[in-house]
Structure 1
Amino acid sequence: MAVEATRGFPAEGELLWTPDRQRVAEANLTRFADWLARERGLRFGGYEDLWHWSVTDLEAFWGALWDYFDVRSVTPYSAVLGSRDMPGAQWFPGARLNYAEHVLRHERTGADALLYCSEGAAPAGMAWEDLAGQVRVLATRLRALGVRPGDRVCGYLPNVPQAAVAMLATTAIGAVWASASPDFGSRGVIDRFGQLRPKVLFCVDGYRYGGKYFDRREEARSLAEALPGLEHVIHLPAQGETGPAVDGGLRWEDVLDRAPVPAEDFVFEHVPFDHPLWVLFSSGTTGLPKAIVHGHGGILLEQLKLQTFHMDLRGGDRPLFFTTTGWMMWNFLISSLLVGACPVLYDGNPAHPGPDVLWRIAQDTRATFFGASPAYVDLMAKAGIVPGERYDLSALRTVMPAGSPVSPQCTAWFYGNVKPDLWIATGSGGTDCCTGFVGGVPTLPVYAGEMQARSLGVAAYAYDENGRRVVDEVGELVITEPLPSMPVTFWGPDGDGDGDERYRRTYFEDFPGVWRHGDFFKVNARGGCFVLGRSDATLNRQGVRIGTAEIYRVVEALDQVTGALVVSLDLPDENFFMPLFVALDEGVTLDAGLERTIRDRLRREYSPRHVPDRIIQVPAVPTTPTGKKLEVPARRILLGTPVEQAADRSAVADPRALDALARYARTQRDYPLATAAV
């Protein structure tokens, strides 16, 4: 049941929703607890007790998940956890399995595997027999083209069904998948795929976004010429019957124009638990993007756990989350097939032809789960859009805000503007482990601005600077016990998979044997969680650490502000300078009145320490295409690092934002200096 819908500004921690008895009884988490009692003789007083068991008896917990989800291996494992050292934990040694095989276990006639739509088109379905049939044919063709286990296959593809088919076919034969969206420029894609030396490239010749067509034939040719070791290019035409963009390339239709491969005749490649499944890339904001390698077994177990217990998905559910193939959320969305859900894919601009297009898709597809970023919610709020009044969202049960810190206002907005009986399963995790560290629990209440709990199996804590656990204090987000989906390694700079040392330096240098994630984190006494921005973009005022999210909540709530970015610059003689950069609505200029409003609100809603030293207007703030603020590259630019060394332009939504910071830095000899408009 929901409390009275809140349309104003709720206080952090205000109770917004409590699950009713039926929802608790029907939750997958409740069924798992019943199974543990029946099959293992384990009983828990509540979620916090269950979580504590899951992070203290790792072998029992992960072994129980293996049995509960009926994970299939052609050989038995010798132990759940052969070694628990981090990095290098050894999970389920001896097991041989395949991620794609577990997806295709759900194949059945007469049901859609997924739904998809593009700009201006009505949703359509892809039946299970079509998805599974194409996967088997394409996997067989890849084998005939010489693709072997461990070879890399890359996709320069939009969020369309063919991308899912290509990924599943690649992983079905033990090859390693990586993908990038065609809105990436060729340089950014080469920086990523070039590390992997792929044998096969799937590419599209263009894409449509915001009502416009973008030709990508030149980018496809540049990729084919630049990728060392590339043997085959498979071309997916974006519009009409066009020839391959790359000379000698194969057409998607021709590759799949083969006799069906019956399920009983297809042989999946069964690989060790940690055999590379896919490679995800860091945002590439500081040098070459890190190529993060995930394993078959780790992703399989983590995604089964996440989607079943912390998203409460089950067979027939329809999750909708706007993403591109260049973001880990695409891998997460496609992985909902593991639980028999029917993911909804959208290829296009989420604000075209209007800012509420995703809600129309949710209505037309009868989506049961909706993923949204706080930036999208802010767009809705400023446009005055009330989806619950415009659309039939009766099928919708769950909303998951993710991608950046979530304010109390954002949480409450859903109850006041979508529907009062919603489970808001706010989550936070990362590309690094391709899962959520903290997130939703369907049997617990929802409090404003608060993530409900730490995820099962995730030993997440806040550490102070001395490596001690703290409660109700902001600290470093750390994970003290291994997770199966922690990276196998980073792909090495020579394409040989030897990136172990870089992996160790990234996560384990500050607290040996403990994963330091790089976020500010707080856990309150009841287990509620807050992720407060990157800790490597620290704001430290008079010895008090401040999460950047607190400043963004206030500043970006102002109608005139379209974006904000704040950094703290360490200066000589133990001084510092904290500028705030703001992007404003077209035609709006930063004046004394608006500056005063920003300063007064920060002082009133948080503290004088939250007030910046200077406020500077810029045409845009630097973010990734998915909306993540680039605080660390911004700080480096302001301290004099050339833009080309501080950030990868192809990984930035609007490169003008980087140039504005560089111009500001060039005009200043010393900080602090006068406010300027850039």
Structure 2
Amino acid sequence: KYTYGGKPFDQSKKIVALEKRLPSLRKTLVFSNNFEDWDLESKSWIDLQPVSVPFEHPIWVLFSSGTTGAPKAITHSTGGILLEQYKALALHQNLFVGERFFWNTTSGWMMWNYALGSLLCGAVLCLYDGAANFPDLGAQWRFAKAAKINHFGNGAPLYIQSMKENIKEVNESDLLNLKTLGSTGSPLSTDAFIWLQKQLPKVQIISLSGGTDVCSAFIGGSPMLPVYAGYLQCKMLGAAIESWDVNGNSIENLTGELVMTKPMPSMPIYFWGDNNFEKYHDSYFSNNSNVWTHGDWISIDSKRGILMQGRSDATLNRNGIRIGTSEIYMALDRLDNIKDALIIEFPIEGRVSSQLLLFVVASRPLNDKSKTEIKQHLRKQCSPRHTPDYIIPVKEIPYTISGKKMEIPVKKIFLGLPLEKVAASGAMRNPESLNAFVEIKNQMNF
């Protein structure tokens, strides 16, 4: 049993179920999550003997977020991961020996493994037990102050909500030791960039985009380049990233598909159980032969960097014009009443154009007037094409464990797929949230 976000959770049934499915299991040890009960004084020393393994020797199996389907069992190589994480943290994150590194993550997200890479650089890895927003949004910022953290990493939603509430904990005098702010999981809005930089003028903001697939980033930061609000600074060293149009041409200053044209050291060596590499090929190489297609929309600016524009498989299409979901989310981040949002495109039978359904978590109840204000805001900030046909209030937005909005599973619900075919509950942070979307779909008769 444990408490998270002020709520109690009992895992005993899951533990019993796992024990029954693991015939080789000899014993189960259950630890208290009250760390004050732990005796952390070392009473003995285990002399660990390192074992030499080939570069391609498996180091671990990570499971993908499950954003678009069943999680993939991704197997990485020892050499590839060590090389990639050393590069990413020492060169791109600018991490030095003795500095204190923190990234808010569960052990089920690749950022946990990424954070472990800080030890390669001789850094001190700081861990936090609990929710980032409990008892309030300032909790982990206060932790950063108390632990004298130099590199603070979190999901973009925490930074955006901290901006909206203008919390007092984010200030230069309390966070004197802070050197970098890392953001990942979803695009960090331009407004959040500006607010963070105003509050912490000497801190470098490093926005990352990568994936569990490589347990690292394709695009990230550099201490040698300027930071432009809303943009990721550069392609990571060793990542041959390009933006391609529908004809396979490399483009700049236009939205295109994120592709990788050459191998990267930490690419998976295989998926566990995928003996013929069929799932591996279908996941990355089915769209472009011998070219890794990741499923993200990006726009490359030779001066400012790379702009992330959302998942390509969640792209909205309005009368032939493609719209990245991040465009809408960034505009909504400017509205104090909107705490969170998710948008999908849904074809309506008998109609020429599809419909945009915008689901919002609001801090105040929505009425016709506030819905009209949201539409007018999107029309002004973006374009008439970005205006949703329906605005539907919900209590929470479904997320994967790694903090990704589950647009595709929600769309599948509205297309009539049963809940068990939509997403793996074990890959979700809040699986019960999908029930509300089933009810909404039934009520609206879609």
TM-score, normalised by the number of residues in structure 2: 0.93
Asked whether the equivalents of residues 619 and 656 of structure 1 are also in contact (C-alpha less than 8 Å), the reply is: no
> Residue 77 of structure 2 aligns with which residue?
295
Tell me the SS of whatever aligns to 2:327.
helix
Asked if 1:613 is matched to 2:408, the reply is no
Structure 2 residue corresponding to 1:260, chosen from 41, 45, 48: 45
Distance 1:456 1:527, change over 3 A: farther
CA positional deviation for 1:341 = 0.7
Asked if 1:379 is matched to 2:164, the reply is no
Matches within 5 A, 1:285-324: 285-324=67-106
> Residue 325 of structure 2 aligns with which residue?
548
| Distance in 1 separating the partners of 2:383 and 2:279 | 39
Distance 1:499 1:214, change over 3 A: farther
CA positional deviation for 1:410 = 1.1
Matches within 5 A, 1:7-26: none
> Residue 291 of structure 2 aligns with which residue?
514
Asked if 1:442 is matched to 2:223, the reply is yes
CA positional deviation for 1:237 = 1.5
Tell me the SS of whatever aligns to 1:323.
coil
Q: Deviations over 1:96-119 (max 9, x none)?
A: xxxxxxxxxxxxxxxxxxxxxxxx
% identity of equivalent residues: 40
Distance 1:337 1:347, change over 3 A: same
Tell me the SS of whatever aligns to 1:533.
strand
Asked if 1:582 is matched to 2:397, the reply is no
| Distance in 1 separating the partners of 2:92 and 2:395 | 39
Structure 2 residue corresponding to 1:358, chosen from 125, 134, 140: 140
Letter in 2 for 1:606: C
Tell me the SS of whatever aligns to 1:433.
coil
Asked if 1:648 is matched to 2:424, the reply is yes
Asked whether the equivalents of residues 219 and 232 of structure 2 are also in contact (C-alpha less than 8 Å), the reply is: yes
Tell me the SS of whatever aligns to 1:567.
strand
Letter in 2 for 1:433: V
Distance 1:240 1:333, change over 3 A: closer
Structure 2 residue corresponding to 1:631, chosen from 402, 407, 411: 407
Structure 2 residue corresponding to 1:524, chosen from 298, 301, 310: 301
Q: Deviations over 1:301-331 (max 9, x none)?
A: 0001100111000100111111110110100
Larger % of helix: which? 1
Structure 1 residue runs of 5 or longer lacking an equivalent are 1-205, 242-251, 671-678
CA positional deviation for 1:656 = 4.3
Tell me the SS of whatever aligns to 1:657.
helix
Letter in 2 for 1:208: T
Matches within 5 A, 1:469-618: 469-492=250-273, 498=275, 500-526=277-303, 528-571=305-348, 575-585=353-363, 588-618=364-394
Report the RMSD for the aligned CA atoms in angstroms: 2.3
| Distance in 1 separating the partners of 2:291 and 2:27 | 42
Distance 1:365 1:240, change over 3 A: closer
| Distance in 2 separating the partners of 1:367 and 1:499 | 45
Structure 2 residue runs of 5 or longer lacking an equivalent are none
Q: Deviations over 1:224-278 (max 9, x none)?
A: 1123x4333441421589xxxxxxxxxx99xx9996344xxx4322222111111
Asked whether the equivalents of residues 367 and 396 of structure 1 are also in contact (C-alpha less than 8 Å), the reply is: yes
Asked whether the equivalents of residues 462 and 469 of structure 1 are also in contact (C-alpha less than 8 Å), the reply is: yes
> Residue 32 of structure 2 aligns with which residue?
238
Distance 1:233 1:609, change over 3 A: farther
Distance 1:233 1:522, change over 3 A: farther
Deviates more, 1:502-511 or 1:522-531: 522-531
Asked whether the equivalents of residues 63 and 71 of structure 2 are also in contact (C-alpha less than 8 Å), the reply is: yes
| Distance in 1 separating the partners of 2:278 and 2:396 | 36
Q: Deviations over 1:264-301 (max 9, x none)?
A: xx432222211111111112345532111111001000
Asked if 1:276 is matched to 2:58, the reply is yes
> Residue 209 of structure 1 aligns with which residue?
4
Tell me the SS of whatever aligns to 2:217.
strand
Matches within 5 A, 1:320-339: 320-339=102-121
> Residue 222 of structure 1 aligns with which residue?
17
Distance 1:259 1:591, change over 3 A: closer
Distance 1:234 1:258, change over 3 A: farther
CA positional deviation for 1:620 = 1.8
CA positional deviation for 1:552 = 0.8
Q: Deviations over 1:322-358 (max 9, x none)?
A: 1110110100111110111111011112222322111
| Distance in 2 separating the partners of 1:240 and 1:422 | 34
Letter in 1 for 2:368: A
> Residue 246 of structure 2 aligns with which residue?
465
Asked whether the equivalents of residues 286 and 648 of structure 1 are also in contact (C-alpha less than 8 Å), the reply is: no
| Distance in 1 separating the partners of 2:276 and 2:436 | 35
Asked whether the equivalents of residues 68 and 409 of structure 2 are also in contact (C-alpha less than 8 Å), the reply is: yes
CA positional deviation for 1:216 = 2.3
Tell me the SS of whatever aligns to 1:371.
strand
| Distance in 2 separating the partners of 1:658 and 1:208 | 23
> Residue 428 of structure 1 aligns with which residue?
209
Letter in 2 for 1:424: I
| Distance in 2 separating the partners of 1:239 and 1:663 | 36
TM-score, normalised by the number of residues in structure 1: 0.62
CA positional deviation for 1:572 = 5.4
Asked whether the equivalents of residues 618 and 657 of structure 1 are also in contact (C-alpha less than 8 Å), the reply is: no
Q: Which has the larger radius of gyration?
A: 1
